[in-house]
A and B are shown apart, each in its own frame.
Chain A
Amino acid sequence: MMKNSAEVVIIGGGVVGCAIAYNLAKMGCQDVVVLEKEYLTAGATGRCGAGIRQQWGTEMNCKLSKASMDTFEVLNEMLGYPEDIELKQDGYLILAYEEKEIEQFKKNIALQNSLGIESRLIDPGEARKIVPHLNTEGLLGAAFCGRDGHANPFHVTQAYAEAAKRMGVEIYTYTECRDIEREGDRITAVVTDRGKIKTEKVVNAAGGYSDLIGAMVGLDLPVYSERHQIMVTEPVNPLQGPMVISFYHHFYCQQVPHGAFIMGQGDPNEPKGHNIGHSWQFLQELSGKITGTFPALKKLRVVRQWSGLYNITPDSQPILCEAPEVPGFYMAIGFSGHGFMIAPMTGVVMAELILGKDLSMPVHKLDLGRFDRGELVLEPSVV
């Protein structure tokens, strides 16, 4: 039986929705429902590259990702998770092939260091020591932070979901939000394909479908979705410590603790939309970049490719706020390809916002109004 009322209804059973649910319950609000139209992690969370880094170019992204990394380090214990989120901290190595990249990295590193993130610029020789199979031809240098790394998004989400459920949160999978009812400007209920749930507070955590949820309350949100493709190899013995990424070549490649290499690329010509198909062009192009950058991986077998949606904002930073025009409508959307790594802190500040508590990190700069005010701080470091 589904509950017919709740204090808060969260739409989306990805890592963000589950992290918000857990934090609400922990802060004393247990009358919470999470709606997921498929199963937990069916969206971007279960399709992502699973990298977690603190090397960002804007203050907000740095702060959110650093605080989140602090949380990942203790997440198993914090959530009482009997399994393991498979945290790996062998760093992120960000390659620079152009002088202007080096200049950008210097700026980023100065900002990161001022916020307590221990990143540094290194030369190709040192990069090669960290990743011995790296082809350093044409490489000018790299940025490195040894505390960056990886965690398993399925287990992270499951850990939040199980902890939330133990505190009374209800998670309804295979339950789709179809509409949001209002009287005047107040929200009154969420309509699902399994019935109605009365509520005054709704959280839009619908990832690549956040625009559709916004439209249910009459908002035209400044976000769009874009397919990003990704693939994985067979598992092999440990070979590569850090995640290696290149903004110049638009790729990322890491070996996860289980042994497989996960890699993906951004395609500047990808059209906007909700397509999550796959293409052989992607497989061919990315394989070319990877074998060029890491010749030793030539004989690794690709076993699977898939794709998921980035939900993108004009400044590549998320939108975390209550909609000024629709009181009670909260959103944690537009993560622009890095919502997994900042989910722990997102969960905390969203729960505080919803419950009207003091924020443990000021996130007012990430409100919806910044786009109208033109106060955009562009994040330069995205793949």
Chain B
Amino acid sequence: MKDDVILCFCEDLTRDEIREAIKKGATSFDELKRLIRCGMGACQGKTCEENIQREIMTITGRKREELPLPRQRPPSVGIYLEDAARGDDDEK
């Protein structure tokens, strides 16, 4: 059965697309990110990570605690180039 539910909103990735990439051998969030860009968009994985980790668990049969967490990279929220150039922080 086709599953068109979108799990990654930034990149418009459906459950099926994500499952296909996991079956190809990308069995961690960071590997998936490199192959299909989930977690590379504006949310940086904040909205999709849980759901995608669950897909990895289902397909690989691994437990949540066995799955590596995605590498967190700054900035924690998108920041305008002009603000970054001034060295402003997020609060302003």
Whether B87 is near chain A, meaning CB under 8 Å from some CB there, is yes
Whether A302 is near chain B, meaning CB under 8 Å from some CB there, is yes
Chain B: residues with Cβ within 8 Å of the partner, total of 23
Cβ contact of B84, chosen from A41, A158, A302, cutoff 8 A: A302
Contacts of A233 in B (CB 8 A): 81
Contacts of A258 in B (CB 8 A): 37
Contacts of A235 in B (CB 8 A): 41
Whether A234 is near chain B, meaning CB under 8 Å from some CB there, is yes
Whether A71 is near chain B, meaning CB under 8 Å from some CB there, is no
Complex interface residues of chain A between 298 and 341 (CB less than 8 A to chain B): 298-306
Pairwise interchain contact B35-A234, C-beta atoms closer than 8 A: no
Complex interface residues of chain B between 3 and 60 (CB less than 8 A to chain A): 26, 28, 30-31, 34-35, 37, 40-42, 44
Whether A269 is near chain B, meaning CB under 8 Å from some CB there, is no
Total of A-B residue pairs, C-beta within 8 Å: 73
CB distance from A45 to the nearest CB of B (A): 10
Pairwise interchain contact B81-A303, C-beta atoms closer than 8 A: no
Which residues of B are in contact with A by a Cβ distance under 8 Å?
Answer: 26, 28, 30-31, 34-35, 37, 40-42, 44, 73-75, 78-82, 84-87
Which residues of A are in contact with B by a Cβ distance under 8 Å?
Answer: 39, 41, 46, 154, 158, 232-235, 258, 278, 280, 283-284, 287-288, 290-291, 297-306
Known A-B contacts: A234-B78, A305-B74. Give 18 more (CB < 8 A).
Answer: A39-B28, A39-B31, A233-B81, A234-B41, A278-B74, A284-B87, A287-B81, A287-B84, A290-B85, A291-B85, A298-B80, A300-B80, A301-B79, A302-B75, A303-B75, A304-B44, A304-B75, A305-B73
